Amino acid sequence: MSKRHLFVFDFDQTIIDLDSEFAMVEKYAPDLYKEYNGDLCVKDHWIEFNNYIYTRIVQNGYTYEDVIKFFHSLKLSPNMEELFDYIRKNKEKYEVIIITGNNEQVVNIVLSSHKIRDCFDHILCNKSIRDKKNIFKITSVNEKYEHCEVDRPFLCKSLFFEDFIKDKIDKYDKIFYAGDGTNDFCLSKKLGKNDVIFPRVNYSLYKILFEKDGKKEIKAEIIPWNNGKDICEYIKKY
């Protein structure tokens, strides 16, 4: 059997068009922006901070069900349907995974409501539960992934990926990686010259690569994207 390609997707601002956590704050707890002087990128205790957001949402009069309803309303990035249609039709060529610091509930709801769950083989993400007080709550999938100097306190996708790929690196002939954020840089640096990274045009990863010289640290080919069609056209060559 010939080797497959491994396609790694980020979730927020890649599969879905916006960042679900920040969008939820805007909708249900905009008062948090005032409390944090407009900057919600809390540098420590990211998971605790997320849970603080969910507690605040309930204090503001919304429910667990509102959070779930919000997850159902999230839209895909432009032309992502086309990319996933192509992947589905050629699934024998691709193993497809998501690596995200977001939670399993939002990922599963988005994939099911857009009918693209069948395109994915594995979802590597944080956990979520409904707690005793009926509040949405997230927990770390494994705290060892939060120990990267660069990405702390966020989940390090490289550490997560290394665990996933060990013992199976020979299974794949090429790795594709689509992402947008600063937390996609660490893993981008780990990919080899036969691999391809797709940074979303004018988002953080793209700016690190092209405006802050991050490109020098990348061995993989870099193909910027604006919509799913750009990625789709490119991967058709392989």
Shortest distance, position 151 Cβ to Zn ion, whole Å: 4
25 binds, among Zn ion, Mg ion, none (CB under 5 to 8 A by kind): none
CB-CB contact of 42 with 49 (8 Å): yes
Positions touching Zn ion (CB under 5 A) are 148, 150-151, 156, 158, 186
Q: Which residues contact 183 (CB under 8 A, 6 or more apart)?
A: 101, 151, 154, 155, 156, 157
Q: Which residues contact 11 (CB under 8 A, 6 or more apart)?
A: 98, 100, 102, 106, 107, 110, 125
Indicate the residue among 10 and 230 with the shorter CB distance to Mg ion.
10
Indicate the residue among 50 and 158 with the shorter CB distance to Zn ion.
158
Shortest distance, position 2 Cβ to Mg ion, whole Å: 31
Indicate the residue among 13 and 77 with the shorter CB distance to Mg ion.
13
Positions touching Mg ion (CB under 5 A) are 10, 12-13, 180-181
CA distance 120 to 123: 7
CB-CB contact of 184 with 199 (8 Å): yes
Indicate the residue among 137 and 157 with the shorter CB distance to Zn ion.
157
158 binds, among Zn ion, Mg ion, none (CB under 5 to 8 A by kind): Zn ion
148 binds, among Zn ion, Mg ion, none (CB under 5 to 8 A by kind): Zn ion
156 binds, among Zn ion, Mg ion, none (CB under 5 to 8 A by kind): Zn ion
